[in-house]
Copies of this chain bind each other. A is one copy, B any other.
Amino acid sequence: MKIALAQLNYHIGNFKANEKKIVNAIEEAKAKQAELVVFAELSICGYPPRDFLQFDDFIAHCENSIEEIAQHCNGIAAIVGAPSKNPNKKGKPLYNSAYFLAEQKVQSVHHKQLLPTYDIFDEYRYFEPAGEVNCIQYKGKKIALTICEDLWNIEGEYLYQKSPMKQLKSLGADFMVNIAASPFHKNQTEERDRVFAWNTKAFDLPLYYVNHIGAQTELIFDGGTAYYDSKGKKCTELNSFEEGLLFLDSEEDLKEVKPKPASSIEKIEKALILGVRDYFKKLNFKTATLGLSGGIDSALTLAIAVKALGAERVIPIMMPSQFSSDHSITDSIALCNNLGCKYHEIAIKPIYDSFEKQLEPLFKDTAFNVAEENIQSRIRGALVMAHTNKFGTILLNTSNKSELAVGYGTLYGDMAGGLSVIGDLYKTEVYELSEYLNRDEEIIPTNILTKEPSAELRPNQKDSDSLPDYEILDKILYDYIENEMSPQQISKKGYNEELLAKILRLVNLNEYKRHQAPPILRVSKKAFGMGRRMPIVGKYLI
Contact = CB atoms under 8 A, between A and B. Distances in A.
Contacts of A517: 516
Interface in A483-533: 484, 486-489, 512, 515-519, 530, 532-533
Most buried by B among A125, A279, A282, A518: A125
Contacts of A358: 346-348, 350-351, 383
Contacts of A447: none
User: Assembly of this chain: how many copies?
Assistant: 2
Contact of A58 (B278, B489, B540): B540
B217 A158 contact: no
A533 B122 contact: yes
Interface in A344-375: 344, 346-348, 350-351, 353-355, 357-359, 361-363, 366, 369-372, 374-375
A515 B357 CA distance: 34
Nearest to A539: B14
A122 B358 CA distance: 46
A50 interface: yes
B539 A13 contact: yes
A386 B412 contact: no
A101 to B, nearest CB: 23
14 contacts: A13-B538, A50-B534, A51-B534, A52-B540, A57-B488, A91-B160, A124-B124, A282-B538, A351-B354, A359-B386, A371-B389, A382-B412, A385-B412, A516-B516
Contact of A534 (B52, B375, B389): B52
B383 A355 contact: yes
B386 A375 contact: yes
Given A14-B538, A46-B535, A516-B518, 10 more contacts: A50-B535, A90-B161, A217-B535, A279-B537, A347-B358, A350-B357, A351-B358, A359-B383, A371-B389, A515-B519
Contact of A378 (B278, B279, B381, B516): B381
Contacts of A122: 117, 122, 125, 533
A346 B124 CA distance: 51
B159 A91 contact: yes
A272 interface: no
A538 B46 contact: yes
A461 to B, nearest CB: 16
A172 interface: no
Interface in A320-359: 344, 346-348, 350-351, 353-355, 357-359
A416 interface: yes
A371 B486 CA distance: 47
Most buried by B among A215, A282, A487, A517: A282
A487 B60 CA distance: 12
B13 A540 contact: yes
Given A55-B484, A357-B350, A512 B50 contact: no
A453 interface: no
A56 interface: yes
A283 B537 contact: yes
Nearest to A156: B89
A55 B486 contact: yes
A538 B42 CA distance: 14
B386 A355 contact: yes
Interface in A419-473: none
B282 A539 contact: yes
B385 A411 contact: yes
Contacts of A385: 374, 378, 411-412
A372 B387 CA distance: 10
A416 B416 CA distance: 11
A111 interface: no
Interface in A90-134: 90-92, 117-118, 122, 124-125
Nearest to A279: B537
A170 to B, nearest CB: 19
Contacts of A536: 217, 283, 519
